[in-house]
Chains A and B, each alone.
Chain A
């Protein structure tokens, strides 16, 4: 099956700083990508998506960058807040299914 990996399992940032979470995906034919946020005891929550014909997409305080050359996806969170503390994972769509990474745990230090 497909594998989606994250470079770092944990990330700690100071409140107010920017956070960058990275993801490597394995299939160059994957055409749609999503970042999810999962808080403790809750289900994954959609944050932002990007299609393969784009290299950047911005939302509210979040930006996703897609580098198809090296099969790399990143999530940037601006002015990180305590409420951003969670596990973040990426998902790639290949064919008619999504494949999910194991996640990066983000801790925001007040």
Chain B
């Protein structure tokens, strides 16, 4: 069965370190997204991609970057982790406009 997986499920890192969160989908979806979820804010868009070599900034992109070298993967990198980036991160993919998103199970990141 097709799926979307995130790793790691939990991560603790120190302030200033570079961290990469992985997202891998086997749906063959062109569209992939990264969101963060914080209490009281709902899901906020960090970065998204509509295909290989395409990346776009979302609402809260500062301090984050993504790359899309193939259809299956969209890794999210925190260049220099800050305590404000402690959050739960969700990756999602979709078939296209007017289709719902399929979400991964999330990565809980704690920056200490």
Contact = CB atoms under 8 A, between A and B. Distances in A.
Contacts, number: 42
B43 A100 contact: yes
B42 A46 contact: no
Nearest to A102: B42
B90 interface: yes
Contact of A4 (B35, B42, B102): B42
Interface residues of A, dominant DSSP: strand
B90 A32 contact: no
Contacts of B43: 44, 89, 100
Given A4-B42, A100-B42, A102-B40, A45 B101 contact: no
B100 A43 contact: no
A101 B44 CA distance: 10
Interface stretch (A54-62, A64-72, A75-83, A91-99): A91-99
Nearest to A35: B100
Interface in B1-56: 35, 40-43, 45, 48
Given A49-B100, A96-B97, A43 B105 contact: yes
Contacts of B97: 93, 96
A38 B104 CA distance: 11
A34 interface: yes
A32 B41 contact: no
B90 A51 contact: no
Nearest to A45: B103
B41 A102 contact: yes
A1 interface: yes
A29 to B, nearest CB: 14
A72 B83 CA distance: 36
> Which of B40, B42, B101, B103 lies at the interface centre, i.e. has the most chain A CB atoms within 10 A of its CB?
B42
A51 B41 contact: no
A54 to B, nearest CB: 13
3 closest A-B pairs by beta carbon, nearest first, are: A43-B103, A100-B43, A102-B42
Interface of B: 35, 40-43, 45, 48, 59, 90, 92, 97-98, 100-106
